[in-house]
Amino acid sequence: MNSGLASLEYVLEVAKDWTVARFAEAQHSDFVLKPHRFVLGDHGIVRCAVETDSVEAESPLDGLDEAPQPTAWTHRTFVTVLYDTDDGTVAREQEAIEILAMDEHGVLAEVAFIVRILDAPPCLGRFWSAQ
């Protein structure tokens, strides 16, 4: 399979589409997305679950030095968001879904915040990139 930015962006988009679909199907307020890996191979993308308590699930890029094929991970994380107010800066933990994609040429990352309302399935916001 041809590697490069187009392949890396493709595996990231497939991971994003799959993640959005999981949230669209969520029926309960306690829904939590399990971590998954997406690998681009010769015959398409292979998706597999990642052990929830593994290093790969917690921080995918810490678990390896390189990805020989374009690979993406989707996992739940918490982001510290800083707000400036009249009384100073306030920090708040925000639940999010992070998608990381890596190959031998680089890394792409996108994040979407999760909104939880009592007794309703969680809502996934739009994905953002640092690019």
Q: Tens digit of pLDDT per residue, the chain (131 long)?
A: 455 558 999 999 999 999 999 999 999 999 999 999 999 988 889 999 999 998 888 888 887 766 778 999 999 999 999 999 999 999 999 999 999 999 888 889 999 999 999 999 999 999 999 76
Per-residue pLDDT reduced to its tens digit, 93-112: 999 999 999 988 888 999 99
Across the chain, which distance is largest between two alpha carbons, in Å?
A: 56
**CA gap 6, 92 in Å, rounded:** 35
At 50 the three-state DSSP class reads coil
Contact present, 74 and 19 (Cβ < 8 Å): yes
- Model-level pTM greater than 0.75? yes
Sequence-separated contacts (24+) of 125-131 with Cβ below 8 Å: 127/16, 127/99
Closest CA to 122 of 102, 99, 104, 96: 96
Which neighbouring-strand residues pair with 85?
88
Cα(117)–Cα(95) distance, integer angstroms: 13
Tell me, what's the pLDDT at 105?
Answer: 83
Note the residue count of the chain. 131
